Amino acid sequence: MIRSSLLVSLAFVAIGCNPQPPATKDNTTVMSAPAPSAPPSPPSLPSPSSPSASTSPTGKTMTGSIYDFTLDTIDGSAKPLADFRGKVLLLVNVASECGYTPQYQGLQKLHGTYEKRGFSVVGFPSNDFGGQEPGSNKEIKEFCSTKFHVTFPMFAKIPVKGPAKHPLYAMLAQTAPAGEVKWNFNKFLVGKDGKVIARFDSDVTPESPALTAAIEKALGEK
């Protein structure tokens, strides 16, 4: 009997089988509990990235200042707006055939009144609204100088609204209340640091007390 039991055990070992689990008195098989599996590892979260800085078309980091931009003057020479550093500016998109065109006269007077205190009007002709600036840069310059005796800086014609708008106006359009320039002779008041202080709609005339008060305040700031 002992030899038979030994042979049976060796047979189990030889064929790689495990003996059946022991049974209880009532023939219930006792199963060993499986080993607990390790909890799944939590998904790895991407590390937060710092917001990317805005860049100009040349790849230069933008600071929210007009000094980031260089544009062609109405005579065709490149001029960095940083040349106006330290001045208070009124940027105006102008047109020669608009109902607001007579504002050129008031803008020139405003320019002359405050120029010696470090202020300048700056004109940006645009044909975006009703095709009211159809002429060449040479024609625009002649019109402004002969009809309104404009002496403030004028730049070459540019788009100021829509997908093709100049990057300068893309930045200006973010000024509260943010949105596209609505018509000719919109006005952006820029402080001595090159950042926009306020914007005024076309129907705010150069003689408007609100505009002149804002200019006076900006000139008084250091």
Annotated catalytic residues are 98
Q: Classify 199 as helix, strand or coil.
A: strand
**Total number of residues shown for the chain:** 222
Q: Which of 116, 112, 118, 121 is nearest to 218 (CA)?
A: 118
Residues 6+ apart with CB under 8 A from 176: 199
Residues 6+ apart with CB under 8 A from 60: 68
- Distance, in Å, from the CA atom of 198 to the CA atom of 192, rounded to the nearest integer, reads 13
Q: Which of 172, 150, 176, 144 is nearest to 159 (CA)?
A: 172
Residue 207 DSSP one-character state:
T
- Distance, in Å, from the CA atom of 200 to the CA atom of 195, rounded to the nearest integer, reads 15
- Distance, in Å, from the CA atom of 207 to the CA atom of 90, rounded to the nearest integer, reads 13
